[in-house]
Structure formats: C-alpha cells, structure tokens
C-alpha cells in the first residue's frame, strides 16, 4: 500500500513537471522610446523690501561751529571773551547757525532698500523715491522739513532672485531758525520708495 501511494505521488509529480515545462513561453515585447517635449514657464518677479523707519541724528557740528563736548545725554559748550566794565559785557551773538535762518542738512542713509528681479528684458532695475509727508514734528510746535530724497544708487543690472540690488537714500532736511530750538525726537515724515523693471 505504501509503495502504491509513493508511486501515485511520483507519477503525479512527473505529470505536473512535464506540463510546466511543455507550456508555450510568452515572450515580452517592447516599443522603441517615444520622446515627449517638456516646457516650463517661470513667472516674472519684482520684489522690493524697505526698512520701516529711517532714523537719523542731527550732529552738534550741524548746529554750530563752536566746540561742544559730550556730556550725559547731550553736549555742552563754553567760551570766554570780552570784559564787563559797565559799558560793555558778554557778547550775545548766537554761535548757532540757526540764528541766521533756516539751515539745510544732508543725510546719507545706507541700506534703506533691497530689490530682487528676474526680469527677462535685460534692462536695469530702477528705484525712485518721493516725499509723501514732508514735515517732522517735535515738541512745542518745533518742526523739521524733508525737502529732498534721492536714492544713493538708483539703478543696477537685473539682480536675480538670490542677491539683491541694495542701496540707501540721501535726505535733504531743512531745520527752521526757531523751529528746532527744542531738543528731542521729531516724527511724522514719510518718504516713498518704488522699484521698477522696465
């Protein structure tokens, strides 16, 4: 009985093997490559970044040619001249430029704006500036006026989108004769910066 079972298994295995090896082979078929074109559109970008505030200091030398020395939060000065003899005395002529009227001060302020552009036209990017609100107000009605604002460098080759074209502005300020008598902060002036990629 045991031999019959072994013979049946052997016969079944032989039949199955012959079926597997005698089945027809299915060969793989492949086409030749078909080339497909790809196109990509990159948008034109013009990006302007500016500082939110320009903060400059008026220097003592812009108010007077007299020698002043830093002291505490400000400056002090002294000079000695003349004789008080009952008919003459101290010289009351102001040593400050403002006594003669308005004084114009020019301030160069670097790193005010940065521009990125990938313009395809190859023209330079340009920056223009303007005065929006000219008056800066201090305490007690004191006032400083912005009379001009210009870019230090107004144009550059198209910079791309990694390293920007960056520059600053030159401010022209008018300090009024008695209008700047009060020390302190003057605020409220506004200038504009505009970038273009012609």
pLDDT of 14 reads 55
Q: pLDDT under 70 in the chain at which residues?
A: 1-24, 177-181
Interatomic CA distance for residues 122 and 124, integer angstroms: 7
pLDDT of 7 reads 47
Interatomic CA distance for residues 131 and 173, integer angstroms: 12
Q: Is the pTM of this model over 0.85?
A: no
Specify whether the CB–CB gap between 160 and 118 falls below 8 A. Answer: yes
Question: What is the 8-class DSSP label of residue 16?
Answer: H
Interatomic CA distance for residues 25 and 156, integer angstroms: 70
Specify whether the CB–CB gap between 104 and 172 falls below 8 A. Answer: yes
Report pLDDT digits (tens) over 23-75. 567 789 999 999 999 999 999 999 999 999 999 999 999 988 999 999 998 89
Specify whether the CB–CB gap between 117 and 159 falls below 8 A. Answer: yes
């Amino acid at each position: 009985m045991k031999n019959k079972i072994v013979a049946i298994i052997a016969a079944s295995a032989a039949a199955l093997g012959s079926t597997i090896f005698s089945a027809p082979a299915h060969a793989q078929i492949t086409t030749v490559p078909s080339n497909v074109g790809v196109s990509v559109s990159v948008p034109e970008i013009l990006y302007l970044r500016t500082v939110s505030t320009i903060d400059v200091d008026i220097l003592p030398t812009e108010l007077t040619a007299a020698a002043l020395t830093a002291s505490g939060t400000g400056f002090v000065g002294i000079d000695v001249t003349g004789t008080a003899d009952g008919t003459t005395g101290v010289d009351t002529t102001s040593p400050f430029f403002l006594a003669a009227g308005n004084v114009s001060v020019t301030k160069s302020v670097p790193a005010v704006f940065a521009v990125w552009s990938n313009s395809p036209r190859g023209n330079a990017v340009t920056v223009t500036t303007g005065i929006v609100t000219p008056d800066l107000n201090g305490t007690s009605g004191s006032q400083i006026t912005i009379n001009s604002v210009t870019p230090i460098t107004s144009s550059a080759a198209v910079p791309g989108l990694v390293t920007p074209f960056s520059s600053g502005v030159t401010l022209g300020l008018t300090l009024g004769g008695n209008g700047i008598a009060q020390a302190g902060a003057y605020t409220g002036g506004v200038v504009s910066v505009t970038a273009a990629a012609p």
